[in-house]
Structure 1
Amino acid sequence: MTMGLTESQDAFAAALLHPDGPLPHGITTARGAADSSRFAVYRNNVYVGLTTALGQRFPVTKRLVGSDFFAGMARAYAADHKPASPLIMHYGDEFPDFIAAFLPAASLPYLPDVARIEAAWTRAYHAADRLPLDVAQLAAAPSERLGDMTLVPHPSARLVRSDFPVGSIWSAHQGETVATVADWQAETVLVVRAAMHVEVHVLPARDAAFAGSLLEGVTLGEAAQTAFAAAPDFDFGSALIGLIGLGAFSVFEPVEGELP
């Protein structure tokens, strides 16, 4: 039975990522003979390309576990995760979740969230350009309507909430010498590219619930209530101005009849 083009392509792609699988039907040398050893070289090159891409996207994750461990983990990921896009920069979006379920990495419970910061960094780097909201624009809105307003998250803004000091761990690995992480506590990290460079910010603990609510599209009033319930020492003004100063939100895109 002759396979169609789609079936042939699917079989070829599956064989590339499964080293124990059979040689795809119709793959032969110029002499017409099947040659599994030559296909194995091609298959290995694909694995090398995918694992290299993961290493480039998740350098701190790689540094934390070492090159050999990372290579094995990345290869295990690549075996069941084909690229969904021809843009290799997007490869590995599910890698943090894979790490969370990867039993050999269970002794490093913070590792998935470090990887989530690195995934967010790449997304922020390639996010759409948008002018960030500034305090003056917010101040121009009628004060009596402030509680009912929602803010537009900046396209690059991503929030990573963790039970571990993952923002500090990420920062500690940005130089040649690894710095010491002094305070081992939960952190909420904002990754954003409001200007030309991606920035990674560890937010004050009392602002975490507020930031999470606003980035999910909750009104300012509702976000403040959630924040006060989570942290009685929450300061609405300083938290809001702080997030705006970090570029977490875009300029308003007014809808006719609504607030600018």
Structure 2
Amino acid sequence: MSGQGVFAGALLAPEAPRPIELRDPTGSDATRRFDVYRNNVAVALTEALAAAFPVVQRLVGETYFAAMARDFAREHPPRSPVMALYGAEFPDWTQRFPPLTALPYLPEVARIEQARREASLSADAVPLDPRVLAGLAPDTLAASAPRPHPAARILRTRHPALAIWGRNAERPDLAQSPPGEVLVTRPRLAVRTCAAPAGTAATLEALARRVPLGAALPAGADHSAIFACLFNAGALISEGDPEP
């Protein structure tokens, strides 16, 4: 392993030996300085993850979250200097982390938080005005293909993850949400998170593939409820809008 690889590996592993080749500007041993730097890096990465996943941190506690963050950093060191992007792999990692098997809902809570972060960083676009579709003839409406807003994210949950997130994120209106579909959007300046009726995920996924609206709406689903959810959340844009 190169000197750079040894340095990086030791930086993310507190139990790893200090690189003995390190010297300060005077030529003296610099391992104590390395310990300070290593601790600062660990703190910075933990704080970045805590900022991205505050509800996960609240659910497991700060001390345990810090230990999780150290283990995660060993497997997923930062690939970008932009810490706002760090931790995209964290939700899937929590699902594979053996100590968390007793908390099967936690990866889904983490995915909600990651979706909210992605939505906050996504491109802007003007939400589709529902009056545009309301004035179309039935055949024309079925053939239209509005697209998901760049910030729209849809999740399917097997556990009451949205309710758990809501109770810990000062969203009492979501505290009784059942398992199912979750829609996250940011049509303007604020990120929105809401329960979505069954079929919303399939509809958005089909529209993302440019499937016409008539075929995108799942058979047997409550189409009116899906439309209401998507338009209330500002989750659609016109098919004629340029790619963000």
Tell me which interval the TM-score lies in, with the shorter structure as reference length: 0.7 to 0.9
Pick closer, same or farther for the CA change 1:201–1:32 going to 2, 3 Å: same
What is the root-mean-square deviation of aligned Cα atoms in Å? 2.7
User: How high is the TM-score relative to the length of structure 1?
Assistant: 0.82
| Residue of structure 2 in register with 1:124 after alignment | 119
Query: Is 1:220 equivalent to 2:220 in the alignment?
Result: no
Query: Is 1:15 equivalent to 2:2 in the alignment?
Result: no
Cα distance, 1:245 vs structure 2: 2.4
Out of 51, 54, 60, the position equivalent to 2:55 is 60
Cα distance, 1:218 vs structure 2: 3.4
Structure 1 Cα separation of the partners of residues 173 and 60 of structure 2? 16
- Quick one: which amino acid aligns to residue 147 of structure 1? A
Pick closer, same or farther for the CA change 1:103–1:136 going to 2, 3 Å: same
Give secondary structure in 2 for the equivalent of 1:201: strand
Pick closer, same or farther for the CA change 1:131–1:216 going to 2, 3 Å: same
Give secondary structure in 1 for the equivalent of 2:148: coil
| Residue of structure 1 in register with 2:232 after alignment | 245
Cα distance, 1:180 vs structure 2: 9.7
Provide, for residues 141-164 of structure 1, a one-character-per-residue CA deviation record: whole Å limited to 9, x for no partner.
553233333221111111111101
Give secondary structure in 2 for the equivalent of 1:40: helix
Cα distance, 1:43 vs structure 2: 0.7
Provide, for residues 176-217 of structure 1, a one-character-per-residue CA deviation record: whole Å limited to 9, x for no partner.
9x899546x422111101122101011123544334433454
Pick closer, same or farther for the CA change 1:46–1:254 going to 2, 3 Å: closer
Please say if residues 196 and 226 of structure 2, whose CA atoms lie closer than 8 Å, have aligned partners that are also in contact: no
Pick closer, same or farther for the CA change 1:25–1:219 going to 2, 3 Å: farther
| Correspondences of 1:81-92 after superposition (within 5 Å) | 81-92=76-87
| Residue of structure 2 in register with 1:95 after alignment | 90
Structure 2 Cα separation of the partners of residues 140 and 254 of structure 1? 19
Query: Is 1:199 equivalent to 2:192 in the alignment?
Result: yes
Give secondary structure in 2 for the equivalent of 1:85: coil
Identity, in percent, stands at: 40
Please say if residues 154 and 201 of structure 2, whose CA atoms lie closer than 8 Å, have aligned partners that are also in contact: no
User: How high is the TM-score relative to the length of structure 2?
Assistant: 0.87
Structure 2 Cα separation of the partners of residues 179 and 245 of structure 1? 16
Pick closer, same or farther for the CA change 1:242–1:64 going to 2, 3 Å: same
Provide, for residues 13-65 of structure 1, a one-character-per-residue CA deviation record: whole Å limited to 9, x for no partner.
33311334444475212332333332122111101100011011101011111
| Residue of structure 1 in register with 2:34 after alignment | 39
Structure 2 Cα separation of the partners of residues 252 and 237 of structure 1? 20
Gaps of 5+ in 2: none
Structure 2 Cα separation of the partners of residues 215 and 165 of structure 1? 26
